Amino acid sequence: MNAAATVRAMQTAIPATTPGAQETSEPLRFKIRGLNFFYGPKQALYGIDLDVPANRVTALIGPSGCGKSTFLRNLNRMQETIRHTRLEGEILLDGQNILELDVVKLRKRVGMVFQRPNPFPKSIYDNVAYGLRINGYKGSLSELVEKSLRRSALWDEVKDKLSHSAYALSGGQQQRLCIARALAVDPEVLLLDEPCSALDPVTTAKIEELMFQLKDSCTMVIVTHNMQQAARASDFTAFLLDGKLIERTVTSKLFTTPTDPRTEAYITGRFG
């Protein structure tokens, strides 16, 4: 029997506790209960319960196809843009069900950064100002643009070329631009879907430092296939497998003494 099969065979021995329940008394930003998600007839997420503490970084890890990106994209209802999908269960943002909120307002509070940098074919300034403009912001755009670029550690590199095309920037700079663009509308939560997978290690380190600094003002949920990144950069880590949440705990504990053998098999690389 290969390692994965051995581990799956041990499933019956697992005690039935709610793996996603809170361990500490941190205030929560997101509370997800009983999340089932379907692509047409095919179920992708099975009864996920997860707590996302405020002003902390929560990482989602798991093998390819385990549903972590699907899960993340439900938090700002981006999955609705795909046809024939269905969602069951509760996703509460500060106590309110996000399905009852206006989706535009939701996405102002919950921003997203994607795997490949996707700046608009506009100038750097216009990219950052985009979210502000479409939401009818009436104040000093330039101030907010500068503030966002500072928050994403990009200001010094672009301050004299704000009118240049965003495409003139390197990959790492473009990703930081996308972060600045998302931060411009001052979201409470930032969702990051494998933000560093297209970037080199030095740029990745810069973005991880950025996340560390942003924590105080912004809750972050990051999906990553890079376990070391989850270990380095997050406060809480959740392990997903085949659409189910297996374990979720304080990161240092997950990577030293995980409770579930499947988690251990995955993080030690013994997984298939």
Is 165 near another protein (CB under 8 A)? yes
Contacting another protein (CB under 8 A), which of 16, 81, 95, 138?
81
Choose among 5, 80, 26, 59: nearest CA to 192: 59
Is 135 near another protein (CB under 8 A)? yes
Q: Which is nearer to another protein, 15 or 269 (CB)?
A: 269
Is 134 near another protein (CB under 8 A)? yes
Is 85 near another protein (CB under 8 A)? no
Distance separating alpha carbons of residues 138 and 159, to the nearest angstrom: 22
Q: Is the dihedral of CA 172, 174, 178, 184 positive or negative?
A: positive
Distance separating alpha carbons of residues 131 and 110, to the nearest angstrom: 12
Q: How far is CA 181 from CA 27, 111, 145, 260, in A?
A: 27, 9, 8, 39
Contacting another protein (CB under 8 A), which of 164, 171, 217, 272?
164
Is 255 near another protein (CB under 8 A)? yes
Q: Which is nearer to another protein, 43 or 118 (CB)?
A: 118
Choose among 231, 233, 182: nearest CA to 207: 233
Contact residues toward another protein (CB under 8 A) are 76, 78, 81, 104-108, 111-112, 114, 116, 118-122, 130-131, 133-135, 164-169, 178, 181-182, 185, 205-206, 209, 212, 228, 231-232, 251-252, 255-256
